[in-house]
Amino acid sequence: MASARSRARLIDRLRGLGIENDTVLAAMEKVPRHQFVDEAMTSRAYDDTALPIGYGQTISQPYIVAQMTQLLIADGLPDNVLEIGTGSGYQGAVLAEILPSIYTVERIEPLYERARRRFAELGYRNVRARLARDGVLGLPDYGPFEAILVTAGAEKLPTSLYEQLADGGRMIVPVGPTGDQRLIVVRRDGGYFEQEVLDAVSFVPLIEQRSDEPSH
């Protein structure tokens, strides 16, 4: 009950910060964020801040999750979505409250395992978690995706994912060096990829595996 109250307060804050999409706000009012952080962090789970989840990674700030989710569904609800950077699984769960099918990939095995367990325990059967050394390679066997959400900061626009974006689809990705990232929306129209540069953001880096690196 206490967590429901804290969640309602967080939703009020998000609304105050300009998040207007009721579908997004309703989804975030449902997802128990305190179950996506370590026990030592549960008292801060409904603060509007990123929190450490171990392995040098973070669960994103709720405002950013709301903003990215809002952008993802701005032109209608995509049927199948790919998230790169499962992390805690929180963003994936928010998407799962709204959309029919989500694939999410993570490169750090213990985070992947933990997120998978959370999805199962909380009954999010429409999220499929995958372990991948480099999520930027996408999931060619399960695409094309109507939307791709990258939740780690890419140095450069990950154009390798373009071919897994369905025609009319959109990719949302933070791009730029640490300290100077901007959220970019890429919309696909046939062979044309239109880019829109949005707000400044701050994400942990997307780790890209170079093809000349050994995989073990």
Using CB under 6 A, pick the residue from 73, 99, 183, 204 that binds ligand SAH. 204
Nearest to 4 by CA among 32, 27, 23: 32
Instruction: Specify the DSSP element, H or E, that contains 7.
Output: helix 2-16
Return phi, psi of residue 122, to 5°.
-90, 0
* Under rule CB under 6 A, residue 134 binds ligand SAH: yes
β-sheet bridge partners, residue 104: 83, 129
Using CB under 6 A, pick the residue from 87, 138, 169, 176 that binds ligand SAH. 87
Instruction: Name the token pair of 185.
Output: 């929306």
Q: Which stretch binds ligand SAH (CB under 6 A): 6-14, 19-27, 105-113, 119-127?
A: 105-113
β-sheet bridge partners, residue 150: 84
List the catalytic residue out of 3, 6, 60, 101.
60
Give the interface size with ligand SAH as a residue count (CB under 6 A). Answer: 25
Q: How many CB atoms are located within 10 Å of the residue 48 CB?
A: 15
Footprint (CB under 6 A) of ligand SAH, residues 137-176? 151-152
* Under rule CB under 6 A, residue 57 binds ligand SAH: yes
Q: Which stretch binds ligand SAH (CB under 6 A): 72-80, 129-137, 176-184, 187-195?
A: 129-137
Q: Rounded to whole angstroms, how far apart are CA atoms 187 and 204? A: 24
Instruction: Name the token pair of 140.
Output: 């060619």
Residues 6+ apart with CB under 8 A from 138: 82, 84, 145, 148, 160, 161, 164
215 is catalytic: no
Shortest approach of ligand SAH to residue 106 CB, angstroms?
5
> What residues are labeled active site?
60
Binding residues vs ligand SAH (CB under 6 A): 57-60, 84-85, 87-88, 90-91, 105-108, 111, 132, 134-136, 151-152, 204, 206-208
